[in-house]
Amino acid sequence: MRVLPGFISEEEETALLAELEPVLKRMRYEFDHWDNAIQGYRETERSTWSVGNQAVLGRVRAAAFPEGGRDAELLPSAHVLDLAAAGHIRPHIDAVRFCGGVIAGLCLVSDAVMRLAHETHKHLALDALLQRRCLYIMSGVSRYEFTHAVLGGEDSVWRAQRVPRRRRVAVILRSRPPPQPQP
């Protein structure tokens, strides 16, 4: 797991949000599915971007999905996840059927804390501070063997300091899953 603080500028954050807000603002936050891993969210997918935003996502691509590597191929659209101030993401591992070996997220609007915990050895855990405008890159062991969660409310603490969780928007790029074996 790598976190690159300040990966985008304030201007780039503003431009990404300008393109996303009109879509997000029309949607309602979902809180009610008790069994969902994610509570208090709205989401969309996006495959076409303004020229400037496309360039920013190109930088994410270059940083996280090295050309020629096995995870060079991305899913065709970015996943935009808007978490309400009262929302959170419970520990989970992204399904291997739908996502390959790299998950890269640009964090917008609010700082947040992501908790990584080993799937079976739960004492192996760490909290990552995801500051607004950072990029995180999850691959290898952190992608396949550790669950990840975004802490909400009172739990949003990093090194004994509260990290106020306001509304947070993540733009997440994922590599394509490897071809599925045919039954």
Q: Alpha-carbon distance 97 to 178, whole Å?
A: 8
CA dist 131 → 51, 54, 110 (Å): 25, 22, 7
Q: Alpha-carbon distance 64 to 140, whole Å?
A: 12
Contact predicate 116/147, CB 8 Å: yes
Contact pick of 128, 150, 151, 163 for ligand OGA (by CB under 6 A): 150
User: Which sign does the torsion angle of CA 115, 29, 173, 7 carry?
Assistant: negative
CB of 142 to ligand OGA, least distance (A): 12
**Binding string, residues 19-58; x marks residues near ligand OGA by CB under 6 A:** ----------------------------------------
- Which residues between 70 and 109 bind Mn ion (CB under 5 A)? 94
Contact pick of 89, 104, 134, 173 for ligand OGA (by CB under 6 A): 89
For the chain, the helix, strand and coil percentages under 3-state DSSP, each to the nearest 5 = 20, 40, 40
Comparing CB distances to ligand OGA, the nearer of 37 and 72 is 37
Residue 81 in the binding site for ligand OGA (CB under 6 A): yes
Comparing CB distances to ligand OGA, the nearer of 74 and 150 is 150
What is the binding site for ligand OGA (CB under 6 A)?
A: 81, 89, 94, 105, 148, 150, 170, 172
